[in-house]
Amino acid sequence: MKIVMLGAPGAGKGTQAKMIAQKYGIPHISTGDIFRANIKDGTKLGMEAKQYMDQGLLVPDELTVRILLDRVSNEDCKDGYVLDGFPRTIPQAEVLDEALVKLGDKIDFAINVDVPDENIIKRMSGRRACPGCGATYHTEHIPPKTEGICDVCGAALVLRDDDRPETVKNRLEVYYAQTQPLIAFYTEKGVMRTVDGTVPMEDVFAAITKILA
Ligand code: AMP
């Protein structure tokens, strides 16, 4: 099963993507995580991506697409995957589509986690991430057991550079201009499904599993 997660930054699609991956035993692929791992390791790719990420801008399609196609060609992706944060532009979606068509394959579902604009900024300012293991939290919705400390590895949680308020504004503008058109793209392909992202995360997940069942 090949799934694309859509939704504004802060809609909770990453959390849902991880839950889907666990339940269905398929890899969770986040281009944002791949970029952050490269930044942490100080790679050339990481240094290039960071310039864009820190401003809330998208990393250029050419670079992003190369990384994604390389990742999905791995053996662990042969039975499917859940993409989180990719595609983010129509050209990215087209390249993915073409690559899948060549393999006689396609995206089975695009799931839009729908959250109204007014909730988004509030949500993003509460996001916290673990620099150690990549786990994500929210001060209100998914608090760690001990404030400021990762449940999984015990590292001190941080507000990611790209979740800072000034960057959030840019990310939202980028989302509406470049990513939201993907809803029409996948609607046309007949695979678009929307879930209400304002309800508790277990209920969002229940709605998603109903779609995937
Ligand atoms: P995320 O963790 O998905 O919110 O991604 C964090 C940042 O990484 C984004 O704000 C972009 O700068 C960059 N990024 C992640 N995925 C993509 C993508 N598919 N295309 C372009 N930039 C991306």
Of the residues 5, 6, 58, which should be mutated to test ligand 1's pocket, given the most ligand atoms within 8 Å of the CB?
58
| pTM for this predicted structure | 0.88
| All structural domains of the chain | 2-27+74-117+170-212 (3.40.50.300)
Q: Is 24 in the pocket of ligand 1 (CB under 6 A)?
A: no
Sign of CA pseudo-dihedral 70, 194, 125, 178: positive
116-128 confidence digits (pLDDT tens): 877 888 788 888 9
Question: d(Cα 91, Cα 195) in Å, to the nearest integer?
Answer: 25
Q: Is 163 in the pocket of ligand 1 (CB under 6 A)?
A: no
21-68 confidence digits (pLDDT tens): 999 999 999 999 999 999 999 999 999 999 999 888 999 999 999 999
Q: How high is the mean pLDDT of the chain?
A: 94
Q: Quick check: 153 pLDDT over 90?
A: yes
Among 184, 178, 134, 186, residue whose Cα is nearest residue 157 = 134
203-213 confidence digits (pLDDT tens): 999 999 999 98
Mean pLDDT calculated for residue range 168-197: 95
